[in-house]
Amino acid sequence: MICAHNYFHQKDNWRMKLFNLAFFSYREWRVSHAISHHHYPNSILDLEISYFEPMLCWLPNPDIKGTFQRYGSWIYGPIIYSFIFMGEFLKRVIETIQTGKCTFFADDLITFILPTFMYLSDSTSLGAVLKMWIFIVMVASFGFGVIGLNAAHHHPEAFHSGDKLPDEIDFGIYQIAAVIDRADVKGSQFAVLTSFGDHCLHHMFPTLDHGILPQLYPVFHQTCAEFETTYRECSWLHHIVGQHWQLARVETNVYDPNKKLH
């Protein structure tokens, strides 16, 4: 499903529909991710920020998160990861009921390919198949949460709404301010495709195939030097730890394009 993310940024193709394998919808994500998140990462206009509030609050605002949310989220956060997929389905059901407009389409039936195959290929009862399927979905959801929420954005040194930006800033520098890449997933297209890798360049050129992005690093680094902007990287473990500190952070940071990551 993470691999499919590379393709719903592009024109319609069959690969993007793999994103629907477990209750997600590439149609919904073309709005919440491709439009909202990519235009306004880590801001109050980023739906990938507001989707998890008030349980997971990454914005450094003491008015929206108390002590329990700041530090309790370190404990209950992984539980939330396990329900991301089913939460997306429930959200669409509620939206359909409240608006009277169906938010489901024929390609949402892709979700039921796996349980159907499981049932047809095994003599186990339907109830047992459904239990195993839900377990698989929850494990996959947990993995998606661990990877996606620690991919590039939620680090204390990354810009979040509430932090201060320079008076003169353009779209490219803003994207760099909101991203800290993971150095240890570079160099492998498999690792990049399955973990939202090469994230900064992906934000710069979201419609380009991930296989092309590594070719852009030389000119990207040159452009960063021309604009006196530091491209920041850290390890994945550093990101995971940093994401939890970001949940707890309420102090305002000042983004300095020249500052290197400690």
Residue 262 has pLDDT above 80, yes or no: no
Has residue 162 been placed in a domain? yes
In contact, 145 and 2? CB cutoff 8 Å: no
Domain coverage including residue 92: 3-248
Has residue 260 been placed in a domain? no
Mean pLDDT score across all residues of the chain: 94
Q: Encode pLDDT of 28-77 as tens digits.
A: 999 999 999 999 999 999 999 999 999 999 999 999 999 999 999 999 99
Give pLDDT, residue 187. Answer: 86
Q: Can you give the pTM of this predicted structure?
A: 0.93
Has residue 75 been placed in a domain? yes
Q: How many structural domains is the chain composed of?
A: 1
Q: Residue 199: which of 246, 147, 146 has the closest Cα?
A: 147
Has residue 239 been placed in a domain? yes
Has residue 185 been placed in a domain? yes
Has residue 253 been placed in a domain? no
